[in-house]
Amino acid sequence: MAITPQAPALPIVAPVADRRSLPSRWRLRWRGDRWGAGAALLTGIIALPLLAILFYLGQESVEWNHLAETVLVRYLTNTLILVVGVSLLVLVMGVVPAWLVTTCEFRGRRLLSWALILPLAIPTYIAAFVFYQGPEAAIPMMIKIRLRFGVEAFLLAEQVIRYGLLIVMLAAVLYPYVYLACCSAFSRQSRAVIEAARCLGDSPGRAFFRAALPMARPGIVAGVALVIMEVINDYGAVHFFGVPTLTEGIFRTWFGMGDKVAALRLAGIMMLVVAALLAVEQWLRGRARYVEADAGSIPMKRLPLRGGKAILALLACFAPVALGFLFPVGRLLHWAGLHLLSDAGSGFPAGMALVRGLGLALATAFVVTALAALFMYAVRLRESRLRRALGRIAGMGYATPGAVIAVGVLVVFGTLDRFELPLLPLVSGTLFVIAFAYMVRFFAIPLQFTRAGLERIGKPLEEASRLLGHPPLQTFLRVDLPLLRAPLIAAGMLLFVDILKELPLTLILRPANFETLATTAYSLASEARLQACAVPALLIIAVGAVGLLFMNRWLQPPLKNE
Amino acid sequence: MSDRTPLLSFHAVTRHYRGNRHAAVNAIDLDVYRGEIVALIGESGSGKTSLLRLAAGLESPDGGEILIDGRVVAGGSIAREIPPESRHLGLVFQDGALFPHLTVERNVAYGLTTKDKKTRVDRIAACLELVGLTGKEKRFPHELSGGERQRLALARAIAPEPKLLLLDEPFSHLDPALRRKLREEIRDILQRLGQTALLVTHDPEDALAIASRVVIIDGGNLMQTGTPAEVYRRPANQYCAERFGPANRVIDRETGEETWKRPEDARWIPCDVANEGDPVVIETIREMGAIYEVRVSPETQPGETWLCFLKEGEILKPGDHGRVAWRGTPDRVAWKS
């Protein structure tokens, strides 16, 4: 049969002359880019707290000079020591297992390949109060040192143990960032390139150092950058170990000394440090496209290991898991058992407040993921440098420490309060403020997932939909959204877990009578009620671990069981 | 709208990409009339795909204007470009761009606007029958073969009855045998529907087999336009000639005019028969099945060689003198006897 071409009911092209005769041409132009305007507006709102901090940098401060003369250097050196120490350690703990797991075959490899990411489920402040038992165990030795070598040596030894343990502990829970980045880099590497290196006379080990490692460098750098941001962001762990960094400086200055401007200046310094770090990372990653092989190439065939080598590989992969996950979880389980058996275990602390915390995390995760998906779609709708910049700015909160964002949000809402806007009391000082701060802090997570998802879907599908008569919003709902389901669920999970774990921002912004699992665990631990705090801590870890495995299943095909 | 109004026209359309010195599309004028099947042909990077995307509204022109049915849709004086969804064009993508989450029938239904269920169902059935996919309604795109996917892409594009169908290298991912078959099928479908179409391809066979008019593009500039026979037999320049296989540059002895001749149009004339054609010396002879590939050097154009497909290869040998004349060239010379 033939389909006779017939005139459609609607005019083919809307009459242009009519459009032009409308009163305001400006309005037409603006309406033409509603998506862009929306994206720009959202970016502006997200950037507001960060801009507020920059604004306060120039203000007068009473305490600043005092601060700069006394503790600023200490904050900076401590931050630097931790950053350098942890970076070096995570390189070893992340790269070696990643290489073994992706390129070798040995007993236990599959199990370890996903167990190695589990330490990520343990927040640093929880790991801190488990590991803090270390310095106490060293007391008898310290006494001997004091008696035999004098005060100087004693102080030095005490510092070395404290800093060393803090570095080891941070590395033990943060190395999975590097591990994940390396796994994805190694498994994407073309087998042909490594085989070429072997044919040119390299042993497997030499091929690793001369070909595989340099090719994976951008991925490794990205992983280490994430670790460094976490170290700078940390509040709980450094507080426990008595190693004040810039983040702790903000807490002390604002809430201890009551000097807002000085605290904001500290926040500004942190932002500069992070910006410098990001610039280096961007520069290194910008060349990644040249370095990485395309995903379509044949994956590496794993080298089977036997005997002693297999045992060594197993140990190298098991050690980080044991240190970063099994040890802390074991201790916590032990404490939780003791707690539940004792009388104190009857009442769970802050029950209702906690439910509100969970509800907030869930709702925020949902809304922020949805917003991020729409935002990323808007940014990608038209290719332009400005839109790419919007995407980058909106995700900057992830690189900004939680304490800095909290301070920025306080300043913004404090300023707004002064104008006495009619509806403001409804939002200011409520859960809305903290939810907004979570969005600023974690917007990058769903953004990244959506970006990757949209890139996988590809432009042609959107173009096909547009040509078949569906405008952008309909195209998003009918084509992109169904295809984005998996990455969006993964992003939502990760966001939920991150909000549950978040400590510094929550501590600063939470309204009265509001607790999250994180604040409950932290306050119990700071009261040295370790056994009681084990219960919320384990809950955080459990939720986090489930979220991680979920995300790993969706988004890391190379790590999935083949 | 009379039939004289072009369905699609480009007026001095220019498109520049950031970081490129040369315009991808350089002040091109082109009209596509109702019922035509126009093939845009050129090397990769010649600007042919850009032209197609400009027509579809997937890109915006930096200069000039684009009209559909006599109305400006982009560039020129209008404040806001007509977005792709309002242009009512169909586009068949290079790799199909089928929606992976929708079944065959829902892919076809995607562009239909009618709410009437009966009309929808009938239309889907008609389109699927047209492309020979009846019975595969419930399948998903990944369950189809390469040829079936491209047929589905075609069905989806023609389902909303677009005024103009755009095809972007629709056969390039298919193997040669399938390519030939699908090409003919699609040509039949387009002719049966009386569908106006604009096809972008780098394959001369696609262009010659399907198109009613061929447009050759190079470096963003329009080189030649004409019927398939015209562009094949009378290429405007070397680039146009080479699009469709080997061609020999022949300089007319009287007018000094450059022309391009196809190897299969060569006729061999032994020296003593006539003084028709140009005197040549045979350089190499290669037997290629039914014909012989003979390379000759024309005495009038020293330093050049011509490629001729001749049947009388077995009686020739390198070094022989003779003459080569070209079919389709008016005979100016009288026979000797």
ipTM of the modeled complex: 0.80
Burial class (CB in 10 A: 0-12, 13-18, 19+), A368: buried
Burial class (CB in 10 A: 0-12, 13-18, 19+), B42: buried
Write b or e for each residue in A310-349: b if 16 or more Cβ atoms lie within 10 A of its Cβ, otherwise e: beebbebbbebbebbbebbbebbeebbeebeeeeeeeeeb
Put residue B63 in one of left, alpha, beta given phi > 0 → left and psi -120 to 50 → alpha.
beta
Nearest CA in chain B to A459: B97
Rounded to 10 deg, the angle between the A431-442 and A402-418 helix axes is 130
CA-CA-CA-CA torsion for A485, A486, A491, A494, nearest 10 degrees? Answer: 140
CA distance B159 to chain A (A): 9
SS3 of residue B25 by DSSP: strand
Q: Does the beta carbon of A15 lie under 8 angstroms from any beta carbon of chain B?
A: yes
How many C-alpha atoms does A239 have within 13 Å on its Cβ side? 20
Nearest CA in chain B to A456: B100
- The pLDDT of residue B216 is 92
Q: Are B59 and B15 in contact (CB under 8 A)?
A: yes
φ/ψ (deg, to 5) at A48: -55, -50
How many C-alpha atoms does A477 have within 13 Å on its Cβ side? 4
Among the partner-chain residues B100, B111, B195, the one whose CB lies closest to the CB of A469 is: B111
Among the partner-chain residues A19, A464, A470, the one whose CB lies closest to the CB of B91 is: A464
Paired tokens of A78: 């401590």
Residues of A within 8 A of B101 (CB-CB) are: 482-483
> Does B87 contact A467 at a Cβ distance shorter than 8 Å?
yes
* Chosen from B67, B91, B114 to mutate, greatest number of chain A CBs within 10 A: B91
Per DSSP bridges, beta strands B221-226 and B213-218 are antiparallel
Residues 18-47 of B with CB under 8 A from A: none
CA distance A460 to chain B (A): 6
Facing residues of B31 across strands?
A: B9
Among the partner-chain residues A13, A475, A479, the one whose CB lies closest to the CB of B68 is: A13
Q: Are B310 and B268 in contact (CB under 8 A)?
A: yes
Residues 164-193 of B with CB under 8 A from A: 192-193
Residues of A within 8 A of B85 (CB-CB) are: 466-471, 475
What would you report as the CA-atom Rg of chain A, rounded to the nearest whole angstrom? Answer: 26
Nearest to A487 by CA among A453, A520, A440, A444: A453
> Does A19 contact B80 at a Cβ distance shorter than 8 Å?
yes
Q: Does the beta carbon of B125 lie under 8 angstroms from any beta carbon of chain A?
A: no
Among the partner-chain residues B91, B130, B193, the one whose CB lies closest to the CB of A467 is: B91
Distances (CA, A) of B46 to A338, B42, B313: 76, 6, 39
> Does B71 contact A13 at a Cβ distance shorter than 8 Å?
yes
Torsion sign over Cα A421, A423, A425, A430: negative
CA distance A32 to B57: 14
pTM reported for the whole predicted model: 0.76
CA distance A199 to A531: 58
Per the listing, tokens 């490594």 go with A194
Among the partner-chain residues A15, A31, A467, the one whose CB lies closest to the CB of B84 is: A467
Nearest to A228 by CA among A402, A91, A392, A84: A84
Neighbour count for residue B115 (Cβ, 10 Å): 7
Q: Does the beta carbon of B129 lie under 8 angstroms from any beta carbon of chain A?
A: yes
CA distance A341 to A333: 12
φ/ψ (deg, to 5) at B82: -75, 120
Among the partner-chain residues B101, B110, B126, the one whose CB lies closest to the CB of A1 is: B126
- The pLDDT of residue A287 is 55
DSSP A255: I
Per DSSP bridges, beta strands B164-168 and B89-92 are parallel
Q: Does the beta carbon of A28 lie under 8 angstroms from any beta carbon of chain B?
A: yes
Burial class (CB in 10 A: 0-12, 13-18, 19+), A224: buried
Residue ranges in chain B whose pLDDT is less than 50: 1-2, 331-337
Nearest to A208 by CA among A194, A222, A220, A221: A194
SS3 of residue A534 by DSSP: helix
CA distance A35 to chain B (A): 14
CA distance A18 to chain B (A): 11
Residues of A within 8 A of B89 (CB-CB) are: 467
Q: Does the beta carbon of A22 lie under 8 angstroms from any beta carbon of chain B?
A: no
φ/ψ (deg, to 5) at B66: -115, 130
Residue type, B95: D
- CA–CA–CA angle A523, A528, A534 (5° rounding): 70
- CA–CA–CA angle A494, A47, A408 (5° rounding): 90
Residues of A within 8 A of B95 (CB-CB) are: 460
Q: Does the beta carbon of B106 lie under 8 angstroms from any beta carbon of chain A?
A: no
CA distance B185 to A537: 67
**DSSP letters of A271-329?**
HHHHHHHHHHHHHHHHTHHHHSPPTTSPPPPPEE--HHHHHHHHHHHHHHHIIIIIHHH
Put residue A110 in one of left, alpha, beta given phi > 0 → left and psi -120 to 50 → alpha.
alpha
What are the helix (H) ranges across A213-259?
Answer: 213-233, 236-241, 246-251
SS3 of residue B295 by DSSP: strand
Q: Does the beta carbon of B71 lie under 8 angstroms from any beta carbon of chain A?
A: yes
Residues of B within 8 A of A29 (CB-CB) are: 79-80
Facing residues of A477 across strands?
A: none
Query: CA A478: distance to chain centroid?
Result: 30
CA distance A474 to A468: 11
Q: Does the beta carbon of B79 lie under 8 angstroms from any beta carbon of chain A?
A: yes
Of all helices (H) and strands (E), which one includes residue B29?
strand B25-32
> Does B88 contact A8 at a Cβ distance shorter than 8 Å?
yes
Residues of B within 8 A of A382 (CB-CB) are: none
CA distance B187 to A263: 73
> Does B158 contact A3 at a Cβ distance shorter than 8 Å?
yes
What are the helix (H) ranges across B25-87?
Answer: 48-56
> Does B84 contact A463 at a Cβ distance shorter than 8 Å?
yes
Residues of A within 8 A of B79 (CB-CB) are: 19-20, 25, 28-29
- The pLDDT of residue B204 is 86
Residue ranges in chain A whose pLDDT is less than 50: 1-31, 290-297, 557-562
What would you report as the CA-atom Rg of chain B, rounded to the nearest whole angstrom? Answer: 24
Paired tokens of A323: 């240190």
Q: Does the beta carbon of A513 lie under 8 angstroms from any beta carbon of chain B?
A: no
Nearest CA in chain A to B53: A463
Residues of A within 8 A of B88 (CB-CB) are: 8, 10, 12-13, 469
- The pLDDT of residue A510 is 83
Paired tokens of B125: 């059935």
Residues of B within 8 A of A16 (CB-CB) are: 71-73, 78, 82
Rounded to 10 deg, the angle between the A351-381 and A485-501 helix axes is 140
> Does A467 contact B161 at a Cβ distance shorter than 8 Å?
no
